[in-house]
Amino acid sequence: TAPTWTTAPEALNVTLECNDTAGLANAQAMFPEASDLCDTNVLNIEKVNGQFKATEGCGNAGIYTNTWTVKDDCGNISETFTQVITIQDTTAPTWNTAAGSLDVTLECNDLQGLAVAQDKFPVASDACDTDVSNITKASGQFIASEGCGNAGTYTNTWTVKDDCGNTSAAFTQVITI
């Protein structure tokens, strides 16, 4: 009779965020327990670490599938115990540029200042995607102040999306003329 697993079949399965390196290390260190009717020492459990298999279209997410078997003193081999570690990326990029730091107030004749202000861009980062430079800008139209057509505001917004499709909150710039 082969050894059997005393650990419940899905007890070692976990789902983690892609930046949870400590959680991944803990999950990879888990081991199931086994017992055997005749062999009191079935600690010779052999683990095969599964390679990370990325999810299509989201390289930061995927799964590790680890397997174990154990053999008793008489050579009987257990069924395979399987652990699935699911890695997900559900966290949107965040802005490193402080809110309001791109806002500026200019005189109506400062065309160079307006050009400089319009060329500014915020910087973003993501917990798992190392390249979030695909920032999208929506340039706002000039909205004149009531009673003074030379004064008003431009409101520009940016968003950025990581490799897994998580979209940041909007970053807003107000240029006051």
Average pLDDT over the chain reads 96
pTM score:
0.82
Q: pLDDT tens, 58-94?
A: 989 999 999 999 999 999 999 999 999 999 999 999 9
Q: How far apart are CA 98 and CA 102, in angstroms?
A: 8
Report whether pLDDT(117) > 90.
Answer: yes
Can you give the pLDDT at residue 124?
Answer: 97
Q: How far apart are CA 58 and CA 76, in angstroms?
A: 41
Q: Kindly state the helix (H) or strand (E) to which residue 82 belongs, with its residue range.
A: strand 81-88
Q: How far apart are CA 132 and CA 123, in angstroms?
A: 9
Report whether pLDDT(43) > 90.
Answer: no
Can you give the pLDDT at residue 142?
Answer: 96
